[in-house]
A and B are shown apart, each in its own frame.
Chain A
Amino acid sequence: MLKPHISVQKLNVWYGRHHAVKDVSVDIPRKQITVIIGPSGCGKTTLFRSLNRLVELTEGVKISGKVLVDDVNIYNPKIDVTEVRKKMGMIAQTPNPLPMSIYDNVAYGPKIHGAKDGKKLDGIVRRHLQAAGLWNEVKNRLLDPASKLSSGQQQRLCLARALAVEPEIVLGDEPTSALDPVSSQRIEKVLTNLKKNYTVVVVTHILRQAMRIADYVIFFYMGELIEHGPSREVFKHPRRAKTRAYLKGVIS
């Protein structure tokens, strides 16, 4: 196996007194789709938000442990958090377009990281809208407000926006939970295509989705890592009783 892209080591997260992520250590493989599954409120979103340090924005949060990305601990105080986040493109649970045009939504990231040349930006915007499978639908109205798009289109726009900063890792937090089945399928397809070039980490509570797209599975329950491994092993031959129960639908 390739060297892991992300290595979580003894990670603990507390919200006030609530211990949301308990002593988690896990390696996330490079250029595969890793899916974090588990019932709602189990801490999978917290684990996920720890990967790009968005978890820090919550008031009263306390974090211990390490998250290594390419062997660099992103919680090292000397690390510039904006560089950490630039390496990772995130798609949120519900589409969250920025209050600007379709074009500017995609150009926003490259612009803050220094891209100025107009023609270059045009190319970046076009390329990433194509990668997200949205280009043909919006190419004639790039200056329209992003909020005018349908939610499925908005979610693909958010993906294009995330890809435009040229990350190495794509993070999806239940990226299809607010979408209709057709839009969900498109997003799944795009994610599957992405693993050629990116490490993809997706949180989902839709088991069938996990089975469709996962190469590697992390099962989370009550803030604890119960089981992780290649998806075939975990889905076909779960080792732990809790995993078996979850897969059968006994606990959720």
Chain B
Amino acid sequence: MDRRKAEETFFKWLTAICTIIVVGSALAIVVTVIIKGAPALSLSMITQTPSGGYYTGTAGGGILNAIVGSLYLAFGATALAIAISLPVALFLQRDYAMKSGFTGFVRFVLDILWGVPSIVLGMFMLTIMFFLGMRASLGAGIIVLALLELPIMIRAMDAAIRSVPDKMKEASYALGATRLETSLKVVVRQALPGLLVAILLAFGRAIGDGASIMLTSGYSDRIPTSLGDPVASLPLAIFYLSGLPYSGAKEKAYAAAFILLVIVLLVSMISRYILKKFSKYVVK
């Protein structure tokens, strides 16, 4: 057979198989979580805080503390990370940083930060907390998760912003717009779909991370009322529950994982809906 044709067929199958592996693993995880967690799921689990039993609700009650805690942590961290990431990503445009050497260095630093294990970020944050006399709290958790989100959010925003054509920016400059006006009114609008994906990716990383907040946000069976209160979270609920020797604890861990998945799914679906509304004017 023709050699080129054989190569073509081989790569066609390779792409298909690899895609199946990725999608299959994701589905397998979801199915496992559903099968193992569904029996333990109950209304009280998502509407009640634990009624004793070492924070985790094995004595009764639910894990509302962890659900709300995780939402507080992830949304707080994502808001903080957006506030920092968007200016940095806009700065990385050539328009602001005329020297491409420096932007290359910034991207390099971000890539290193991306590779730092989240437990190390937690340890780093703990050092700062000791120094400032802070205790494990919602506020500290938000800061460390924002730190975890920054590299992925900035790099993904950077990619989205770099895909805005120079010609489009020039149209704005030629009308006498400043860099700020061009960035906010043209670049951000055009890059909006990519920016939203960046935010989603970062949000997903933050809500699913346990190691960074293990040392910094503590755990509590109550819903925090201030940034200074310790806070429960779903990843740590899963972690603690899965290690408990009581009957039903592992099922509850799976149920918590299921809730976490549903939250990620809902947030992603809602933002895709929003995206459709706002990307009407994007020039393709």
Interface, chain A (partner B; CB < 8 A): 52, 54, 57, 59, 82-86, 88-90, 92, 94, 96-101, 108-109, 112-113, 145-147, 158, 161-162, 165
- Is the beta-carbon distance between B175 and A99 smaller than 8 angstroms? no
Most chain A CB atoms below 10 A, which of B95, B173, B175:
B175
What is the chain B residue whose CB lies nearest that of A49?
Answer: B170
Stretch among B143-151, B176-184, B211-219 lining the A interface: B176-184
Residue from A59, A82, A158, A165 in contact with B100 in the complex, judged by beta carbons closer than 8 Å: A59
- Is the beta-carbon distance between B175 and A85 smaller than 8 angstroms? yes
- Is the beta-carbon distance between B165 and A96 smaller than 8 angstroms? yes
A100 to B278, CA, bound (A): 10
Residues of chain A contacted by B175 (CB below 8 angstroms):
85-86, 89, 108-109, 112, 161-162, 165
Residues of chain B contacted by A146 (CB below 8 angstroms):
281, 283
Residue from A54, A83, A94, A113 in contact with B174 in the complex, judged by beta carbons closer than 8 Å: A54
- Is the beta-carbon distance between B170 and A96 smaller than 8 angstroms? yes
Most chain A CB atoms below 10 A, which of B172, B186, B284:
B172
Q: A98-B171, A100-B281 provided; 16 other pairs, C-beta below 8 A?
A: A82-B177, A92-B170, A96-B168, A96-B171, A97-B283, A98-B186, A98-B283, A99-B189, A108-B185, A109-B175, A109-B177, A145-B280, A145-B282, A145-B283, A147-B283, A161-B175
Is the C-beta of B98 less than 8 angstroms from some C-beta in chain A?
yes
Is the C-beta of B166 less than 8 angstroms from some C-beta in chain A?
yes
- Is the beta-carbon distance between B174 and A99 smaller than 8 angstroms? no
Contacts A98-B186, A112-B177 given; indicate if A54 touches B172 (C-beta within 8 A): no
- Is the beta-carbon distance between A57 and B176 smaller than 8 angstroms? no
- Is the beta-carbon distance between A100 and B189 smaller than 8 angstroms? yes
Which 7 residue pairs across A and B have the least CB separation, nearest first? A86-B176, A109-B175, A90-B174, A99-B190, A82-B176, A147-B283, A85-B176
Residues of chain B contacted by A92 (CB below 8 angstroms):
167, 170-171, 174
- Is the beta-carbon distance between A85 and B174 smaller than 8 angstroms? yes
CB<8 Å pairs between A and B, sample of 20: A57-B94, A57-B166, A57-B173, A59-B94, A59-B98, A59-B100, A82-B176, A90-B171, A90-B174, A94-B167, A96-B170, A98-B168, A100-B281, A112-B176, A112-B178, A112-B185, A145-B280, A147-B283, A158-B171, A162-B175
Q: How distant is B190 from chain A, measured CB to nearest CB, in Å?
A: 4
B243-284 to A contact mask, C-beta < 8 Å, 1/0: 000000000000000000000000000000000000011111
Q: How distant is B95 from chain A, measured CB to nearest CB, in Å?
A: 7
Residues of chain A contacted by B282 (CB below 8 angstroms):
99, 145, 147
Residue from A57, A101, A113 in contact with B281 in the complex, judged by beta carbons closer than 8 Å: A101
What is the chain A residue whose CB lies nearest that of B178?
Answer: A82
Q: How distant is A153 from chain B, measured CB to nearest CB, in Å?
A: 14
Q: How distant is A19 from chain B, measured CB to nearest CB, in Å?
A: 20
Q: How distant is A77 from chain B, measured CB to nearest CB, in Å?
A: 16
A101 to B283, CA, bound (A): 10
- Is the beta-carbon distance between B173 and A54 smaller than 8 angstroms? yes
Residues of chain A contacted by B280 (CB below 8 angstroms):
145
- Is the beta-carbon distance between A165 and B176 smaller than 8 angstroms? yes
Residues of chain A contacted by B284 (CB below 8 angstroms):
147
What is the chain A residue whose CB lies nearest that of B98?
Answer: A59
Residues of chain B contacted by A147 (CB below 8 angstroms):
281-284
B70-99 to A contact mask, C-beta < 8 Å, 1/0: 000000000000000000000000110010
What is the chain B residue whose CB lies nearest that of A80?
Answer: B176
Most chain B CB atoms below 10 A, which of A89, A99, A145:
A99
Residues of chain A contacted by B181 (CB below 8 angstroms):
112
- Is the beta-carbon distance between B185 and A83 smaller than 8 angstroms? no
- Is the beta-carbon distance between B172 and A108 smaller than 8 angstroms? yes
A222 to B168, CA, bound (A): 28
Residues of chain A contacted by B98 (CB below 8 angstroms):
59
- Is the beta-carbon distance between B174 and A57 smaller than 8 angstroms? no
A108 to B173, CA, bound (A): 11
